[in-house]
């Protein structure tokens, strides 16, 4: 089975839903941000602070290229779609699910979150709108998360993948 990759804006729930989908499907769940933190032994804010966003993006691409292409579910960082190389890799190799969440809902979820350097800093509306187009371009499927619990979102992904696989087998 093609690996399932979750993309979407910060706070769309990729990391939370990851664990639930992995459990339901009994496959490994991996998070690119967690992998980066493990290999560098630094937190994401530390990397941004000491080396800047460009270095973080290089590490993110290196990490993505080493991720499984089959039998796994992977949560990405919200900025993974900024790079053309990353977008092409995702489109070519894996099944991509875009978790779509409105900016108002994200504001409620993240509030004054301190663990996301770009959440603190940016003009959020511009960043959100610029990225939305890229999420849509890259995704095989879209799931709306507003008003749903992580468990409900995980169940939708599970049903979607089941359907994809049975359709593919012509059952």
Ligand X SMILES: Nc1ncnc2c1ncn2[C@@H]1O[C@H](COP(=O)(O)OP(=O)(O)O)[C@@H](O)[C@H]1O
Ligand Y SMILES: O=C(O)C1=C[C@@H](OP(=O)(O)O)[C@@H](O)[C@H](O)C1
To ligand Y, the closest distance from the beta carbon of 170 in angstroms equals 36
Residue 64's nearest CA partner among 22, 23, 94 is 94
Count residues near ligand Y (CB under 6 A): 11
N-terminal to C-terminal alpha carbon distance within the chain: 16
Interaction with Mg ion in 7-26: which residues (CB under 5 A)? 14-15
By the 8 A CB rule, do 73 and 93 touch?
no
Choose the one of Mg ion, ligand X, ligand Y, none that binds residue 59, judging by a C-beta under 5 to 8 angstroms depending on kind: none
For residue 31, the surrounding DSSP H or E stretch is: strand 29-31
In Å, how far are 80, 130, 136 from 89, measured between CA atoms?
11, 20, 15
Judged by CB, which is closer to ligand X: 15, or 86? 15
Binding-site residue positions = 11-16, 33, 57, 78, 116, 131
Residue window 27-66: x/- pattern of binding to ligand X, with contact defined by CB under 6 A: ----------------------------------------
Contact between 36 and 63 under an 8 Å Cβ cutoff? The reply is yes
Enumerate the known binding-site residues for Mg(2+).
15
How far apart are CB 43 and ligand X at their closest, in Å?
14
Q: How many CB atoms lie within 10 A of CB 50?
A: 10
100 binds ligand Y (CB under 6 A): no
150 touches ligand X by CB under 6 A: yes
């Amino acid at each position: 089975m093609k690996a399932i990759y979750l993309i979407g804006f910060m706070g769309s729930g990729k990391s939370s839903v990851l664990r639930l989908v992995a459990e339901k499907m009994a496959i490994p769940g991996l998070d690119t941000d967690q992998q980066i933190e493990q290999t560098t032994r630094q937190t994401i804010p530390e990397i941004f602070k000491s080396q800047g966003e460009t270095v973080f993006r290089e590490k993110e691409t290196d990490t993505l290229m080493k991720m499984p292409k089959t039998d796994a579910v992977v949560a990405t960082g919200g900025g993974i779609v900024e790079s053309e190389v990353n977008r092409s890799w995702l489109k070519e190799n894996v099944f991509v699910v875009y978790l779509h969440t409105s900016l108002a809902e994200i504001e409620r979820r993240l509030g004054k979150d301190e663990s996301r350097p770009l959440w603190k800093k940016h003009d959020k509306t511009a960043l959100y709108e610029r990225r939305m187009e890229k999420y849509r371009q890259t995704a095989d499927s879209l799931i709306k998360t507003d008003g749903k619990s992580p468990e409900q979102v995980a169940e939708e992904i599970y049903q979607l993948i089941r359907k994809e696989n049975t359709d593919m087998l012509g059952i």
